[in-house]
Structure 1
Amino acid sequence: VYDEDTPDEHEFRISLSNDVADYDVNQCIDSFKKLIHNCDTNRRLNWKTGGKYVRDDGAYTYEVSPTRYNRPWLPPEYAQGTCKGWYHFSHSSYTIEGGGFSTWDFGQKTMRPSMNGCYGLGTTAWNFEYYDEPTEEGYEWKLTFNTPVFVRSRCFKNNKVVKGAGGWTDGCGGND
């Protein structure tokens, strides 16, 4: 299972017929690339729903299967989110919710590097959670955290952080 406990959780599977005992690694990689990329959709976020590719008259079957089915349906055309940041004298606290981005890494490879790049290593009280079901607005996760004071305008209100993570929040409310 890949991207476990996230909305993007999925598994790769290869099945061999009784007539074959082994598989070729390069053919396997090529088959999964074709399975994933040759069925591109016209969806802006390029969401996939799994699939199966059978080769050599059924000798090899390659499958990609989502293991969670709690994504918004119909798939959204754009990444979306909301942001609020509040000043607390010694720090600021933020809440960001999003959908269509940061859906595979608990924000560690998408949001966190973008935040560090904007204001340094001052993030504390990090709490990233995926919802069991998307919200009415289509949000799939919620992130709460603290920052140094006065970073909202240069990092969040201008969408710099979330855009760097592949998302969008149309600014960031609050008073930081």
Structure 2
Amino acid sequence: MRQFLTYLVLISVVLTLGGCNFGPVKSDAEAEEEMADGRDAEVSQEDEDQRFSGDLGGGARMEELNDPDSPLSTRVIYFDFDSSRITDEQREVIDAHADFLSRNPDVEVVLEGHTDERGTREYNLALGERRAQSVEQLLQVQGVSAEQIEVISFGEERPAAMGHDESAWRLNRRVEILYSGL
């Protein structure tokens, strides 16, 4: 019995340690430097680009998404200051994406919510999430399956434009629609 308990404890320890990440721990300064350099500790932009722009099925679906005359070529939804309300103009773009996703149930999207630099980190993460959820809700109302949509908020952490004025801020208040699974 004692030998059994010893093995049981040993197995528990191995399983517990197996789930731990023993990589180097970064200081706050190192993490901030990486963010300033545009690097992400977990997912590089190159990895993310490859994930969402790999072979998108060739054929008509890829052409449809990249046709500059199609609203599907617009994959960034912009928002007013401190708002998650979708404008009528943006609604037309989202309607086109909803139609495309409904016709292609094997295609998935990631909705990345972003904000400008104003506000606390926590507030901006919440606002970015509300923005992405606004787009998600509109897609679902139009028949897109919840399994096709993933919502992520980066808050102010991944600005599209650097700067401390309205011209930069308006470009950072956005939801990006990233396709995968084509």
Q: TM-score, normalised by structure 2?
A: 0.24
Structure in which a larger fraction of residues adopt strand: 1
Choose between structure 1 and 2 for higher RCO, CA contacts under 8 A separated by at least 6 residues: 2
Which has the larger helix fraction?
A: 2
TM-score normalised over the length of structure 1: 0.25
